Amino acid sequence: MACSNCDFSEIQDVILGVEDVSIVSQILKRRQQVPKGEGLFRIGQPFHAAYAVKSGTFMSYLLLEDGEEQVLAFHLPGELIGIDAIKEKRYSYSARALEAGSICELYFNDLAKLGKSYADAQNSLIRVMGGEISQAQRQSLLAARQAADERIAAFLLNLSDRFNRRDFCSINLRLAMSRQQIASYLGIAVETVSRSLKRFQSVGLLDVSGKQIEFLDRPGLESIARISPSTD
């Protein structure tokens, strides 16, 4: 049941410290494998659980009127998916796995069930949610850059930072998402993603090989992204 490398361990520790095992099992469901492409939930469904990503990469998305898939966010290990549905009691987007991974289901659908005795768990949840808001804010910042190069540089740095936070290697990155999904997420054309990456490669900022990315000149990327290195 060890779960040290995600924000959620904070909550889990609290929950697991509780004597009443039946309640624990009501809230926390053990790690589950999720095969590539499988959905966690779909837009409009009643909220029944939030998902803590243990491994793999997930994405949340909408289907636009014309049938196009609009990517809203990518979710990495240690991050939380779907908790915002707690407000409206329905998921406001769909989510699925981009690659095989695993998640823990967290049944926070009925907070009352947690009862007053779980104040510590709630505090933890509040802190985790604060982090999720920050993350969403940063994401909206990505797409607000006007030049495509800026967006892509900022996107890669953001991904890298988020991986880094969980002790993954910070100079090598394996993108789980397709170029198309990156393009949708950043609001640019696939071809532009391709060309930007190529440009970064040709000026020695990156080494790109398919989904494998190596950072060669981080400060250079940061100045393109117009992010001060200490923006954390």
CB of 209 to a copy of itself, least distance (A): 27
Residue 117 found at the interface with a copy of itself (CB under 8 A): yes
Place of tokens 């006007």: 146
Give the per-residue contact string, 163-192, with a copy of itself (x = CB under 8 A; - = no): ---------------------xxxxxx---
135-154 footprint of a copy of itself as x/- string (CB under 8 A): -xxxxxxxxxxx--------
Nearest to 77 by CA among 37, 50, 95, 104: 104
Is residue 144 part of the contact set for DNA (CB under 7 A)? no
Interface with a copy of itself (CB under 8 A), residue from 33, 70, 164, 212: 70
Position among 55, 92, 178, 194 found at the interface with a copy of itself (CB under 8 A): 92
DSSP-derived 3-state class of residue 101: strand
CB of 232 to a copy of itself, least distance (A): 8
Alpha-carbon separation of residue 230 from 125, 138, 152, 186 (angstroms) = 27, 14, 19, 23
d(Cα 156, Cα 135) in Å, to the nearest integer?
Answer: 14
Q: For residue 126, report the phi and psi dihedrals to the nearest 5 degrees.
A: -60, -45
One-letter identity of residue 107: Y
| Binding of a copy of itself by 129 (CB under 8 A) | yes
Work out whether 224 is an interface residue with a copy of itself (CB under 8 A).
Answer: no
Task: Decide: is 121 part of the binding site for DNA (CB under 7 A).
Answer: no
Our CB check for a copy of itself shows the closer of 70 and 172 to be 70
- Closest to a copy of itself by CB, 35 or 44: 44
Q: What three-state secondary structure class fits 215? A: strand
Beta-strand pair 28-34/101-106 = antiparallel
